Structure 1
């Protein structure tokens, strides 16, 4: 990595989750080394000072983290390039991804971290403990009306993913309660593995048969619009061009039956949400396993992407 492309966190050699005290300690250490009076380089000292002034101020750090999440600070994972099959038609994900030369392509294999943790790779963006954690965050209380019902259905989604998807794909990471990069709304859940990322929202509807036409769910003459995920999927795809990003809305039934309600998918009309799948709980589990496992290097944990999700979008 060149000095000009180093992030403020890398300049101070701290993780993106560093506390104010850790940043101060790191700054004093780096300043002593870089100061011209101590034989250091003036340009390096300016970089250290700039990094400290940004990260020690909560508002400036928050703004910097948002730009870091958008990938504008430039980082180099140090991994080699490899070409894989192109994403589905209509996706703007790049067909060129990064993976370690030794990565295996089986979703059930132990996770491979990119860049790897170990001596000679500098200070990691996240600690190994954080990167190894499969579930990050919990549904967040927001708003006044309907908050309890929303949290309950989000918790059902978390439990379902934790029990039926994460054990099958050890490299999968579930991040809950993120802020949308497209607007001030929230992303209930993000499921990330290898070079594929799924945004997940939820609904709670009575059991029965519903027809999905690409825009609304229709049941007994009643039309129900699902959560609007399409624009968030497009925004996340722009932020992470190396990933294949999709959206999923899981429809839970009050009784907890994973196969209810029944959702019939009719031919989608023009302007339908082609990037978002509308499924019941069983369909979500089945679909997400297939989506994540069929991607390139599904047992890879991209530490840079995970750090940007955890730090830059909260």
Structure 2
């Protein structure tokens, strides 16, 4: 598990509701540990997730700390005879969930237009209000306890906003030679998260976090945590084409930026190598890709493309 709100909660990993009592939780842990233990024919990755889940909620103190998003006095231990996850972490998640504060440093930053993650946060807040109950006040929509108790579909909406903001922060640090537009209107296709312009090319970029690992099969991204019928590469292509038609610009390529934990390699091509449909990029490798390490040959007229986008782009 990661600290992403899109990831499965410890209760979901153990297969019990968050309201389960301590004994029910303990029985669920023992059952999940038996089912996933590698020596009993289980899967090592799933077994590891079970151990981390238990360490986060396996004692009353740890459970209170997880449910409230606070820092426990000490890390819990697993029941006798089980493995423990030594890299367990906790702490207040409120600041990580809330919108990012403005930067105060004086470093040169990329030219930025639009509001990264803005629409995704609006959708998340609306869904959260509907889940809590329309008309019922929400004192703090980013309270960790409230978010961690929400259905995963709602947590994933927040995860998408955080993913978009993380990409925006990486691009912003690339300096004044870069221009980026966020939350572009793609008409019937919804929105395109980012368009990034720099001398190496013009990139259509989507940022997403499914809260789990993904892989590429038959030209598409697949994984257990994707929604039924979800086709991320196809959706990116359609959104990019809509923006391209609207603005009369041509994209160098399309990038699908995912958390580092979601994939095993920095960059994966989707489609034929000579003309890939898109690149699936680890977040930590995004700067390298945009700087031209994996870019196709050729450059763009930055000034001409920037002026055209400024005159034609629409935001959601």
- In which range does the TM-score fall when normalised by the shorter chain? 0.3 to 0.5
User: RCO greater where, 1 or 2, for CA within 8 Å and sep 6 or more?
Assistant: 1
Which is strand-richer, 1 or 2?
1
TM-score, scaled relative to structure 1: 0.42
